[in-house]
Amino acid sequence: MDFSIAMTGFVAIYIFMLAGFAGWVIIGHVPAILHTPLMSGSNFVHGIVVVGGIFALLNASTLQQQAIGFFAVLLGAGNAAGGYAVTDRMLAMFQVSDHRKPKVAHARAHHAKKT
């Protein structure tokens, strides 16, 4: 069985169209209160570019390609790791009032004890 993927012409355009539509619809539902974590979260998602960087670096066959490939992985890894770190930190801060969600209030009390 052949598991290689070939995306040419219309297949690629279909993928782009559907993905673009999915992004538009998903983000359209996000409330304004989450816009900053969302922007940094989507910023994290394009950190997947690091995978492309690894591919390019592994296939590098000249010093020039190695240098640029190394640069690509370095930057891509920074994008992914940094984007995750800040988004996770921000989202952990969002809490509801104590009386509505006792479970969250408990978690916060626990956190307060630690600090």
Contact 33, 41 (CB under 8 A): no
The 10-29 contact track toward other proteins, x by CB under 8 A, reads --x--xx--xxxxxx-xxxx
State the minimum distance, in angstroms, from the CB of residue 47 to other proteins: 6
**What is the rounded distance in angstroms from the CA atom of residue 17 to the CA atom of residue 14?**
5
Residue nearer to other proteins on the CB measure, 27 or 106: 27
State the minimum distance, in angstroms, from the CB of residue 25 to other proteins: 9
Residue nearer to other proteins on the CB measure, 62 or 110: 62
Q: Does 4 bind other proteins (CB under 8 A)?
A: yes
**What is the rounded distance in angstroms from the CA atom of residue 88 to the CA atom of residue 84?**
6
Tally Cβ neighbours within 10 Å of residue 72. Answer: 19
The DSSP symbol for 98 reads T
Q: Does 110 bind other proteins (CB under 8 A)?
A: no
Non-local CB neighbours of 30 within 8 Å, separated by 6+ positions: 38
From 10, 61, 110, 115, residue interacting with other proteins (rule: CB under 8 A): 61
Give residue 96's Cα distance to chain centre: 25
Q: Does 62 bind other proteins (CB under 8 A)?
A: yes
Number of chain residues interacting with other proteins (CB under 8 A)? 87
